Amino acid sequence: MILAIPKFWLACLTAAFILLFPTRSRAAGTNWMSSLSGDLSLTCFSIPGTHDAGALHEPLPGTTKCQNLTLAEQLNAGVRFLDIRCRHVNNAFLIHHGLVYQKMNFDDVLNAVISFLTINPAETVIMSVKEEYDPKGNTRSFEATFDSYVAKNPGKWLLTSSIPTLTQARGKMVLFRRFHAASTPKGLDLSTWPDDTIFTNANVRVQDCYNFSNTGAKWTAITNWLANAQAGNSDTLYVNFASGVAKRRFLPDIPFVANAINPQLTNYFTAHPKGRYGIILMDFADAQKCALIYGTAP
């Protein structure tokens, strides 16, 4: 005999079950890390990221813009790795993509990230900081200017030289340092990263091949790195740039690559819903692709 349960009580039972037994599928882009064990290293799950996260402006279509979402929107969509490019001007950092100023300064970046982490203290944001374009009008080193920014909110930075656990990283920015530092530890040291290639350094392995005449070769590089992350040492952080650029009519064409690669990312992670795939950096990231990536967590 099947007992009929009144709709009111069924709704109450459902709500109680959700509260008592939360599932990872409920995690939104704003708080998807909150359901992960704090004992996990950042190497142990998949992390959505954005290549040239601050590049929202361009003088000519297709030449420098890499994202449609603001930094705050990226974080709310689930992005947890931000690739930040800083031009050093008058002892301050301006956000650039190549020679193009992105109408944003490093303080704007930090305000967006710190505001997000204050509201979502169980999350962490890995921030890659790289010097971009030509310095101008400075009386101190790039490192000294970076230190001046850290000094404004020292408690929000994790500058350990080893890959942390989630417990260690929660509520903080983990520095992925792509500049020389005389005073260490100062984050994960990626200062010898060469251009447009595959790079290995200590516990980090990077695929950053971005100049391609055809998108098929780029997709092969991406899937090879996804497979390496799956099969590789669990102590290694795999960083996989899904971004790229093609030269068309003598100008860089960023959407040409992104329009080919992004649908393939969606298809790949739809077909591979569980696993450890490392950090995947995208151009024109959105909430759907981010959810597919962070949803692969064990």
Average pLDDT over residues 235-239: 97
Q: pLDDT tier at 7 (50, 70, 90 boundaries)?
A: very low
Nearest to 231 by CA among 263, 278, 175: 278
Q: Determine the average pLDDT of the residues in 138-163.
A: 98
**What's the whole-model pTM score?**
0.90
- Cα 223–chain centre separation: 18
Domains, the chain, ordered by start: 41-294 (3.20.20.190)
Pair 231, 196: CB distance under 8 Å: no
Say what the pLDDT of residue 152 is. 98
Look at residue 27 in the predicted model and tell me its pLDDT: 58
